[in-house]
Structure 1
Amino acid sequence: MTGVADVYLMLSKPRSKESRRRFAALFQREKKPQDLQKFVVLSWKHSGSSLLCDILHNHPEIIMHKELFNPIDIFTYYSTALLRNESSDNKWNYLSRDLWPQLFLDHIWPGRYADGTKIKSNGKAIGFKSFPEHWKDTDNEGVWKDLILDDFQVKKIILSRDCELSTYVSMRRAEVTGNYLGTPYPNDLKIHVDVSAFQAFVNHYRFTFQRKYKSPLYPQDSFHVTCEQLVDKDVFNNEIAPKLWGFLGVDDAFQVRRLKETVRQSQEDERLDVVISNWHALERAFRHSDVSYFKNRRKLKLSQDTSSTVSITDRTNSSLSQGSSDGTWSILLPICSRIASKATPVLPPADEYTNQYTSNNTEQPDVCWERLSQFAASFAETTSAKDRENVEFIVGIDEDDDVFNTIDANQRIRKILPIEVKVVFESIPPKMYGKVCQIWNRLSQRANRDFIVLFGDDILLLDNGWKRNIEECFTAIQSNNPDLPFGAACVAFNDISFRGFPTFPVIHRFHMKVFGRLLPKQFVNQGGDPFLFELYSRFNASKFASVKLKNTLGGDSSARYSKHEINWKGQVLRLSIEILTERIKTLNQVNVAPTGVCLDIVIPSYRTNNSVILKRIINLRSTLRAYVKFWIVVDNPDKEHLHEVKGLAEEANKSTFKDNNYFVNVVHYNENRGASYARNTGYNYSTADWVIFLDDDIVPEPHLLEAYIGSIFRYPLAKVMVGMTELPEPMNNWTRMLKTSNVMFFFGISKHYIHPPWGVTANIMVKGSRYNHSVQFKHLYPKTGGGEDIDFIFQMKSFHKLDGCVVGVPGATVMHPWWNNSNVCYNQIWGWANGDSQLITEWPGKTYLTLPNWVESMALLGITYLFFLRKALYLIPLLQTCTCIALVDHLIKTFAYYGSAANALPTKKPTFAFAHILFLAFGASTVISAQEVTRLLCIFKRHSLFSFGRRVDWCDGQAQTEILNQKLRSGLLFFVYCSLAYYFFQMRV
């Protein structure tokens, strides 16, 4: 997590470009008294622009054209005004207009016909309306910017619609019906709204009205009106129209008249949730976004759609037409008496009886038979005779097994297993010993029943009716996903030895039909269970059953074989998802996208006594269906803290969570290795598509998961989602100084940028490691954090090479406390600077060179004195120069921060307000200075001459004007510093 204090140089003057435009306006030609007032209506399709144009057209002193620059044709109320001369054959058309747009405007602005007569004899204003695509489609944006936007003599009437969703739906309905004006839409017309396309529209819409159309001379040259004000006759006639007439310089006594031809196309009382055919998907994605329609729904506390969140168990059909208690099962049961393949075998005490078995790597026969008998007894006790009639056991036995691979042993196995079941024996060749996944594949080829599960002789089934329970889960999954074939699912037992891990998944013969085997051939003996669960979870078709079993030897402890991991989370899983998607499409003739949400939450935990916050984090839930695992990585060797965290996890996992899709895992390594190592640990354990990083001192809003889940659908190409990290209101002078210094700007970056350059890891979501496993947090950054978050996101950008891969999600909000309990904490400031200074050498392409700042200038003077002067005569001017440089720098910073410091004061200002403001502004300047000094010391410590005078582009190319400003400012200040040095040293000479 990084706070960047010197960002004030780039962001404290965000209106620098506007200042230049205001300065340029002074030199523009003033409108002559006889000239008509030029104006343009800047709007969007279906935002009420036709109604506004009609109202303007009816005014006797306004010459109003329509869409003069529509790509299709030139639309105007005065078609004869397009004649170049009195000949009817010489007329402006769309081609000549697009080739010579400036000449066309010169023809339009005088407001006259070809013979020189005025269009309106008493006209005082002339204008037309324009949509953003009018100029873009003809590649004339440069002309439009120079002759319209940047010409302050052309007034702008900016018409927008508060509800972006209504605008978009209206546009889509016009595209579908072809009715753009005058014809009401059919009452039964339904519109499909593509989630990502609508989000792109919202971004473009807001950029256009909030930034592109923003004028530095507002309100002199700009007039804002909304569609909602326009359609309300009383509001427009009494409040808006008089101001609009005054803005255009026309008769303000004119009574507004509307054309009868202008009709409302939509129903006045229509509900968008009825009009939009895929409302549930849209509401899921935008529920916690800042789109105005959904913000208003939240304010009104309208009920949210929960159709996608109903528990699978709750929606289980009472009649199980496809999956019933009569389902047939194949239980794969590999058994062996070998023990040497255990990671750390625990051998019985050596005596004459046991030595004959341990010497040839075999357990005592009594132990083997007892274990098998216990499993068979648990199976018999938890199933009925009717259940057992539909079960077959595929028993796999090693070829050289001295205990089980005999004729007598086979007979004994048949007697141990219930008499109702069918028993099939399969020989396991030596090359497969210890390779459970390959054994699983071999045994599954003999399976002839509907449901397939791999058991071991080391498990105990604990709950009656487990067979029916799991079959009901399959039926429930299919009822919740009607586009999926029955059996396209995975249901796992609840293994109390390893809660939250699908150690014993049940799959259907459908899986064998699709893939021809249970697992891809790359698997050895690890990863098969979670692979199957993760595969079907991408289709919302994985579930933990409520029935329990106990794994006595495997699970999270050592197994009876040497574990062999493969990287199945990337290519293997991706290819399997593609195969399954294509197969479902072929079977059901339906396009079923893998829309299941799988996300994990990684929380590095070093702080002690924070169980209240951790408990709040692990209790995060979403009403939207998702598969969520929490990874608490304990980065503190304190045993009490570890015990406390494990207790929280155990308590949480014992609870009955919604659909059993939330589980808490605790990882620890008995030492402090730093935030980067802890995050990497959880990140690499995760098999999810998305990973949320949260700090262990933040307080998340309850809807955090829903906000992030919605953003996944809104931005399908994004790789990093930056949440909103808020801080409390300042409560003392130190926190006011921090606020004034803008050191926390990037904590709330998501509300300023659609595509932030980076975000702090206190609250951020990134693509899972299975997509980019080579992207990791680097250990060269400080353990306590600083620079590692910026570096990580720079790596993600470099890896994916995709524009806009970082997205802001302001709805995903957490509250971050003030550091050091709101007391002075320069250590935190120094730590950030120590870390982010590493970025200069790690990412030199994202830096730029400036002239030395105040502390670097002082360092240059000191070095010059040490190596070249070294005379007592020059010591006093050196000290005088350094003192003055520091004073000048801090005076400039204090002056720059004065306004921010005044805003940071509490509502009730103190008696000595001016002195207090100066104190806060000066304190804020010391925050910046602390980082500047730290960065210089780090340069010396690392012997990195390259870093001297270099600055990191914190905005990663999104603030080029501010970088230019900083370079110019550094040059001016360095000139002042040199002048001071010359003055004091010249006095000595």
Structure 2
Amino acid sequence: MQSQPFIQSLVHPYKRVLVTGGHGFIGSYVAKVLLRSGNLDLVRIVDLQPKPSIFQSEEISHETLLGDLLDPYILQSSLVGVELVLHLAANMGGMGTIHSQNDFEIYSQNHAMTLALVRACVAAGVKGFFYASSACVYPEHLQQSTDVSLREDDAFARSGANIPPRPQGLYGLEKLNTELVLSQMSNSLDIRIARFHNVYGPGGTYMGGREKAPAALLRKSAALALLSPADVQADPELMHIEIWGDGAQRRSFLYIDDAVDAILRLIRSSFESPINIGSDQPISVEELSCIALACASIDPDAVEVQTKKDRPVGVGARNSNNDLVSAVLGWSPTVEIQEGMRRTYGWIDAELRKKVESFTDVEARLKLIQGVQTSKVLNLSSDTVSFAVLLPITSRSSMHPPEACLDNLKRFAHSLVETTQRDISNGQTMSTGGTKFEIRIYLAIDHDDEFLLDPENSPEDILRRLGFAKVKTITCKHPRGHVCALWRDCAREAWGDRCDYYVLLGDDVVIEDEGWMRKVHTEFLDISERRGVPIGVGCVAFMDSSFPGMPTFPVVHRRHMDIFEGEVVPDVFVNQDGDPFLFQLYRRWNCSRMITSRLSNAIGGSDDARYEKKHAKGWTFDTLDGATITLDVVIPCYRVDLTILSRILNLHAPENLSVMFIVVIDDPNSPNIPHLQKLFGHRVDVRIRVNKKNLGASASRNRGMVEESAADWVHFLDDDIVPADNLLAEDEKAIRAHPNAAGLVGNCQFPTASTVFQAAVHLAGVTYFWDIATKMDHDVPWGVTANLIVRRRDDGVTFDLGYPKTGGGEDIDFCRMKREASLKGGHGTFEPAPRVIVTHPWWSEGKRSYWRFYMWSVGDGALVTRFPALTYRDWAWNAPEALVVCFVAPLLWMVLGLFRADATSGGSLFPKGVLGLVLANVLHDLYRNLIRHPERRRELKLAPGVARGPWLCVALIESTFIRMFSECGRLRGVVSRKEWGALGRRFDWFAWRYGEGPSKEEKRNNRERTGLWLAIWAMLFTLV
């Protein structure tokens, strides 16, 4: 394609270009070439749709403006600084779209848009204007059953005297009329007009009703290629290809690269009259189908041709005469139909395979393949899509007078007008949307609300004065404050009226963003296409500005009402949780979305409401049983480290895992809270909650798990870990491998120990269980909450708040209670997930501190009393118990009068005992790590500098002090809780998973240390 030289030699040195419809098929290719030329200062795109998937990873413009050209703001903004407009936006398609039933919609939309654009171009001082016309401008009487070579001046050929030109339908007439309008504007604009003849290629529409013959036939051929021999053997009729008409109609088709080449030549030329851009090689549709089948390596003789003569087919024959374009532009097509079809097939086949491969169910896969074997006929003038606004309203408020409810209603109604007027547009469709919307409002008023039932205060009148004609008032008899019951009454009434969408709102709501109706409708269509579910299966929620992250005002479809027989939410809900229930219900199938359209909830939301909030107990468990996997990542957060939190919140979720991030901030005074909310508060999958005061990590985890989450699984992460990039993908694999588990213990790694202190922490054993998932293959006794996944079940198990806020024992307690409840319910235990990896940095940047380990032990000492079945008696003393003996022994010496003349000998018992205790523990740990079990040391992640030699010995000595400090904390906790029966008892950290092995080893170590200590003490007392 020789595009670059054409841009360099433009007659008019246009440097700033606007491409309308730049995300469409031809427009996106043109914009991409213009951008890549490198000679333009600005390539701007304006379009209703986002960037096409074929160019998703590429830049095709400097600027993009998403919006409707009939919106004055969008129109004027798009033209700022523009010199040349390439007008490629239109409501168009193949014969499934531009048939007679859609004539008026297409004509009115396209002509209104183009007139508005041309007028604005003149006003903005635009210099050049390129218009994408169509071969449909040529009269129908010239395009019958025989081949015809259409010249540019044939557009005004008449079929008889006094008969005006008759293009193909109003689509063709609109194109011809626009050509005439532009010819009148030639004094103000430098005009170029291209009449396209059936452009095709990769990236063009290939399904849905707007596709043209090449893409439709290639799609159907690709579908046949996806059928397995077993599919065909079971149903031989699957091997067919559908053709509209009898297949004899003839067309010429132009490959996209050739079309772009001609466009660039035209805009650099000085030719102002309309000109054909098409192929002059006609082919029948039946012959085209044979080429499509050949692209799929399918023998046409093995396929039954099914002709659909009742479908729109257009004219009998059409072909471009290229004499003029060849003479003026020196252009002719270079890509033969066979080669162009082959290239296009490769793209369509890949797209179709992605859709099919997303289905694991064989029946659903076959149904999809059968669906794409048939082309659709779009009816743009179909019935209006109706939105039922379900609106409970009350005048009762302890904070405001009754009249305030009418003020609230007026604010809501004004916001409804402002945010829907373009979608409704007085019953007319917008420029390229093709869908009409209407609003029906259903008011629910308590039967004893005398103020609102007074005709002088009629809410209906307020709404009707603002233009809402379809309003119904329902008088309801329910206890006060039962909002969900009022919603149910409104929804049943709307269901009886066959409304399409049901919007659960409140009278204190203000909708902030325009276009929410079309966004909701588009989201439901996208859910259907992406998830392979019937249209209407799903839930779409607003972004609540007053309660970020919570799907408080959902929209459901009539299909939901049909499924649940007219009940929008179950009657278990009173006035809370009904709306998030709907969102979580469909989230199980990954069919819940939150749109960017915002609303604010003036009175309810996260603040106090006008009535007592009544939550439905346990709704996040039983009410949602039986659905598919969802996962909430709960992060109790005190530090609010934006770098680490950003790493966690930007984790990528796999396609089949629905993830919500719940951050519970435990420091309400953190200066980073506003920054976190600014960065992530807009995200529909991030929920940021702030405790009113510091409650501790356990209480924050409980809030996240019980109050905020409604998922099947919860993944607890600490706020100081660094997750692996594939963490969520590994979550999904682990959950699918152990769907019945009580939970999954992740792998929490530490960086390689490079200092003496860091090595000592490992050698002391206080981090042994952090990577326990790599050491056990089944029934892991417990895991640290820095990386722990649990199955949410309605078992009443939460983190015990009796443990210290700083941590210690609560993770073990939680896991053991969760395991017990799981087994009682017939479920599994905790399983290892060694590939679910996070990295925990060294605390305080690796600086020396024993306090953390001491405080952990203060808490976990309570496990002895809490789980007596997991403990054993150890008659030998550990370090702190021996230290008590060191203190008591001199007292007994003096009381019993065992010393005679030497008064200082008894007093020396204590320091000599303490010195002996330290020496005994150090010597024993050196022996144990260097001689008895050197293999255990080699398993640790130690840097070479501390893994051997004298620094290893220093690290071993320090590890002794860390272990002793930890044991001291445990004794302190026992004494402070007055758990005297726990003295001398030890907790088996492995919960008897390895039998008596660990307990016997611990008792042996304590016996040896105690014996060695007593020997050294006696020696010191005797000799020193």
With over 3 angstroms needed to count, the CA separation of the structure-2 counterparts of 1:622 and 1:305, relative to structure 1, is farther
Report the alpha carbon displacement of residue 683 of structure 1 after superposing the two structures with TM: 2.0
- Distance in 2 (alpha carbons) for counterparts of 1:905 and 1:812: 19
* Counterpart residue number, 2:470: 422
Distance in 2 (alpha carbons) for counterparts of 1:964 and 1:398: 68
Tell me how far apart the structure 2 counterparts of residues 607 and 320 of structure 1 sit (CA, whole Å). 58
Question: CA separation of 1:411/1:816 partners in 2, compared to 1, >3 Å: closer, same or farther?
Answer: closer
Q: Which amino acid aligns with 2:714?
A: V
What secondary structure is seen at the aligned counterpart in 2 of 1:749?
A: helix
2:586 is aligned with 1:536: yes
Deviations 1:486-505 (A, max 9, x none): 43321223333433322221
TM-superposed deviation, 1:334:
3.0
Give the Cα separation in 2 of the matches to 1:497 and 1:329.
Answer: 27
Counterpart position of 1:833: 857
Question: What's the offset of the Cα at 1:952?
Answer: 0.9
Q: Secondary structure at the match of 2:672?
A: helix
- The offset of 1:947, in angstroms, is 1.3
| Alpha carbons 1:734, 1:824 under 8 Å: kept | yes
Separation in structure 2 between the aligned mates of residue 924 and residue 947 of structure 1, nearest angstrom? 25
Partner of 1:392: 440
Cα gap change, 1:546/1:635 in structure 2, threshold over 3 Å: closer, same or farther?
A: closer
CA distance in 2, matches of 1:304, 1:939: 61
Q: Which residue of 1 aligns with 2:542?
A: 493
Inter-CA distance 841–305: structure 2 relative to 1 (3 Å threshold): farther
The answer as to whether partners of 1:308 and 1:625 remain within 8 angstroms in 2 is no
> Kindly tell me: are residues 320 and 927 of structure 1, through their superposed partners in 2, closer, same or farther at Cα, counting changes over 3 Å?
farther
Partner AA of 2:884 in structure 1 = A
Among candidates 473, 483, 494, match of residue 436 of structure 1: 483
The answer to whether the Cα contact below 8 Å between 1:649 and 1:666 also exists between their aligned partners in 2 is no
For residues 840-892 of structure 1, the C-alpha deviation after alignment (integer angstroms, 9 at most, x for no partner) is 11111111112223432453464465458624625555665554454233211
SS at match of 1:620: coil
Tell me by how many angstroms 1:726 deviates: 1.0
Pair 1:821 & 2:853 matched = no
**Structure 1 pair 921–334 and aligned structure 2 pair: CA distance change class (3 A):** closer
Matched residue SS, 1:778: coil
Task: Specify whether residues 306 and 835 from structure 1 end up closer, same or farther in structure 2 by C-alpha distance, changes over 3 A only.
Answer: farther
**By how many angstroms is 1:746 displaced?**
0.8
Note if contact 1:372-1:458 (Cα within 8 Å) is conserved in structure 2.
Answer: no
Pair 1:859 & 2:884 matched: yes
Q: Which residue of 2 aligns with 1:455?
A: 505
Partners of 1:941 and 1:964 in 2: CA distance: 25
Verify: 1:924 aligned to 2:956, yes or no.
Answer: no
Cα deviation for residue 904 of structure 1 reads: 7.1
Q: Is 1:611 the counterpart of 2:642 in the alignment?
A: yes
Matches within 5 A, 1:24-423: 326=383, 328-334=385-391, 336=393, 338-340=395-397, 345=399, 347=400, 358=401, 361-363=402-404, 368-369=409-410, 371-376=412-417, 378-386=419-427, 390-402=438-450, 404-407=452-455, 409=458, 412-413=461-462, 415-416=464-465, 418=467, 421-423=469-471
Give the AA of the match of 1:859: V
- Partner residue in 1 for 2:923: 891
Verify the 8 A CA contact 1:628 1:663 in the aligned structure 2.
no
**C-alpha distance in structure 2 between counterparts of 1:538 and 1:903, whole Å:** 42
CA–CA separation in structure 2 for the residues paired with 1:604 and 1:815: 17
CA change 1:861–1:477 in 2 (3 A) is same
Question: What TM-score comes out, normalization by structure 1 length?
Answer: 0.58
Q: 1:721 aligns with which of 744, 750, 762?
A: 744
Matched residue, 2:688:
665
Unaligned runs of 5+ in 2: 1-227, 232-352, 361-370, 428-434, 900-905
- Matches of 2:600 and 2:485, distance apart in 1: 23
Give the match for residue 659 of structure 2: 628
Alpha-carbon distance change, 823 to 427 in structure 1, aligned in 2, over 3 angstroms: same
TM-superposed CA distance for 1:620, in Å, is 1.7
Q: What residue identity is the alignment partner of 1:736?
A: A
Q: Which amino acid aligns with 2:424?
A: T
8 Å CA contact 2:441, 2:472 repeated in 1:
yes
Q: 1:307, 1:325 → 2: CA distance?
A: 33
Distance 1:380 1:555, change over 3 A: farther
In structure 1, what is the equivalent of residue 972 of structure 2? 937
1:781 is displaced (CA, Å) by 1.8
Distance, in Å, in 2 between the alignment partners of 1:863 and 1:377 is 83
Q: Distance in 1 between matches of 2:754 and 2:855?
A: 23
Instruction: Give the match's secondary structure for 2:424.
Output: coil
* Equivalent-residue separation in structure 2 for 1:320 and 1:339 (angstroms): 52
Aligned twin of 2:757? 734
Unaligned runs of 5+ residues in structure 1 are 1-186, 191-302, 311-315, 348-357, 579-593
CA–CA distance in structure 2, aligned partners of residues 364 and 393 of structure 1:
17
Query: Structure 1 residue 955: deviation in Å?
Result: 0.8
d(CA) in 1 for partners of 2:987, 2:926:
23
Question: Matched residues in 2 for 1:306 and 1:797: separation?
Answer: 40
TM-aligned CA distance change 1:528 to 1:868, over 3 Å: same
Deviations 1:679-716 (A, max 9, x none): 22222222222222111111111111111122111110
Amino acid at match of 1:676: S
> Structure 2 counterpart of 1:836, which letter?
D
Out of 648, 653, 659, which is 2:676 matched to?
648
CA distance in 2, matches of 1:382, 1:390: 8
Q: CA deviation at 1:607?
A: 2.3
- Quote the Cα distance in structure 1 between the aligned partners of 2:771 and 2:919: 31
Cα 1:327/1:724, change in 2 over 3 Å? farther
Q: What's the counterpart of residue 139 of structure 2?
A: none
Q: Percent identity?
A: 29
Tell me what 2:277 maps to.
none
Matches within 5 A, 1:730-809: 730-755=753-778, 756-768=780-792, 771-772=794-795, 774-801=796-823, 804-809=828-833
Inter-CA distance 836–869: structure 2 relative to 1 (3 Å threshold): same
C-alpha contact (below 8 Å) 2:761/2:959 kept by paired residues: yes
Instruction: State the distance in 2 between where 1:694 and 1:305 align.
Output: 34
The question of whether the paired residues in 1 share the 8 Å contact of 2:916 and 2:1014 is answered with: no
Report the AA paired with residue 733 of structure 1. V
Q: RMSD over aligned Cα, in angstroms?
A: 3.9
Specify the code of the residue in structure 1 equivalent to 2:744.
Answer: M
Secondary structure of residue in 2 paired with 1:556 = coil
1:131 match: none
Please tell me whether Structure 1 or Structure 2 has the larger radius of gyration of its CA atoms. Answer: 2
Deviation at 1:438, TM superposition (A): 0.6
Provide the C-alpha distance between the structure 1 equivalents of 2:776 and 2:519, rounded to a whole number of angstroms. Answer: 49
SS of the aligned residue for 2:660 comes to strand
Amino acid of the residue matched to residue 635 of structure 1? D
Q: CA deviation at 1:954?
A: 0.6
- Give the Å deviation of 1:558: 3.6
Q: 1:371 to 1:965 in 2, by over 3 A?
A: closer
Between the two proteins, the alignment pairs up a number of residues equal to 636
Contact between 2:488 and 2:569, CA under 8 Å: does it hold in 1?
Answer: yes
Q: Quick one: structure 1 residues 724 and 189, their matched pair in 2 at CA, closer, same or farther if it must change by over 3 Å?
A: farther
Equivalents in 2 of 1:701, 1:305: separation in Å? 29
Q: 2:704 aligns with which of 643, 657, 682?
A: 682
What SS is found at the alignment partner of 2:453?
coil
Q: CA offsets, 1:45-79, max 9 Å, x none?
A: xxxxxxxxxxxxxxxxxxxxxxxxxxxxxxxxxxx
Q: Distance in 2 between matches of 1:786 and 1:324?
A: 67
> For the structure 1 residues 975 and 369, does the alpha-carbon distance in structure 2 shift closer, same or farther, using more than 3 Å as the test?
closer
Instruction: Write the distance in 2 (CA, Å) between the matches of 1:501 and 1:692.
Output: 19
Q: Distance in 1 between matches of 2:377 and 2:738?
A: 38
> Residues 441 and 323 of structure 1: is their aligned pair in 2 closer, same or farther, counting only changes over 3 Å?
farther
Which secondary structure state, in structure 1, belongs to the residue aligned with residue 404 of structure 2? coil
User: Are the equivalent residues in 1 in contact too, given 2:409–2:459 (CA < 8 A)?
Assistant: no
